[in-house]
Amino acid sequence: MSDLRAARAVAGLSQAAIASKLGYARQLITLWERGLVLPNPIQLATWAAVLGFELSIRAHPAGSPLRDAGQLRLISRARTAIGELWTWQTEVPVSRDPHDRRAFDAVLTGAAGRIGLEAITRLTDAQAQVRALLKQETARLERLILVLAQTHHNRVAVIAAAPTLSGAFPATPREVLRALRAGRLPQANGIVLV
């Protein structure tokens, strides 16, 4: 609100002039500028536009990106299926850039290298999973494994999305689990259902 108040002052406009352009009472503009009443998003966008501003509203995940108990259970099942030959870290940032809020659900570290895990309780967007390869590249991880909950929906979704997923995640679930249980890197990125 202070930016819009300052912009009004710099433009030499009165609260009454702004109110007239918006079709509101001057008292409402006073309340907005003082922060005593908050405009709704439409009012705020219109107010900003009158002053030559473009309003941008962004949403960012807050708190832990592992937001649900289902995903936590999935990571626990993956850990049981893979074993303890790897050092496990959860919620590992993709980069050191403080503005980059991306993270891997887990990263496995061992003598063979580092592997990123993305835990997915319900596969709904195959292309988004392929885009996770950008995270792998940024973090310089040797492998990326999609860990899916073993559900009917996910089994059907993996089959339906095979044309999109198979090039990015060519290793079979059996190959991936065999390698990880032995403390080795899988031959390629892959998908496992647990």
Specify the CATH number for the domain of residue 119: 3.40.1350
Q: Is the dihedral of CA 89, 116, 67, 173 positive or negative?
A: negative
| For residue 90, pLDDT beyond 80 | yes
Q: Where are the alpha helices (DSSP H) in the chain?
A: 2-10, 15-22, 26-34, 41-50, 69-82, 126-139, 152-160, 162-165, 173-181
pLDDT, tens digit, for every residue of 109-140? 999 999 999 999 999 999 989 989 999 999 99
pTM (2 decimals)? 0.65
Mean pLDDT for 51-62 is 76
Q: Which residues contact 56 (CB under 8 A, 6 or more apart)?
A: none
Specify whether 28 is located in the same domain as 122: no
**44 belongs to a structural domain:** yes
Residue 188 has pLDDT above 70, yes or no: yes
In angstroms, rounded to a whole number, what is the distance separating the alpha carbons of residues 16 and 29?
8
Whether residue 56 lies inside any domain: the answer is no
Three-state DSSP class for 85?
Answer: coil
Same structural domain for residues 88 and 171?
yes
Identify whether residues 184 and 102 lie together within a single domain: yes
Position 63 in a domain = no
Mean pLDDT score, 53-65: 70
Q: What is the pLDDT of residue 57?
A: 81
* φ/ψ of residue 110, rounded to 5: -150, -175
Q: What domain range includes position 31? A: 2-50
Q: What is the DSSP letter of 139?
A: H
The answer to whether residues 119 and 166 belong to one domain is yes
CATH of the domain at 26: 1.10.260
- Distance between CA atoms of residues 121 and 80, nearest Å: 16
Residues 135, 95 share a domain: yes
Contacts of 156 (CB under 8 A, 6+ apart): none
Q: Are residues 40 and 84 in the same domain?
A: no
Residue 9 and residue 99 in one domain: no
Indicate whether 26 belongs to any domain: yes
66 vs 136, higher pLDDT: 136
What φ, ψ does residue 113 adopt, rounded to 5°?
140, -160
Residue 24: the pLDDT is 94
pLDDT of residue 54: 86
Q: Residue written as tokens 């536009």?
A: 49
Locate 32 and state its tokens. 């907005």
Structural domains counted in the chain: 2
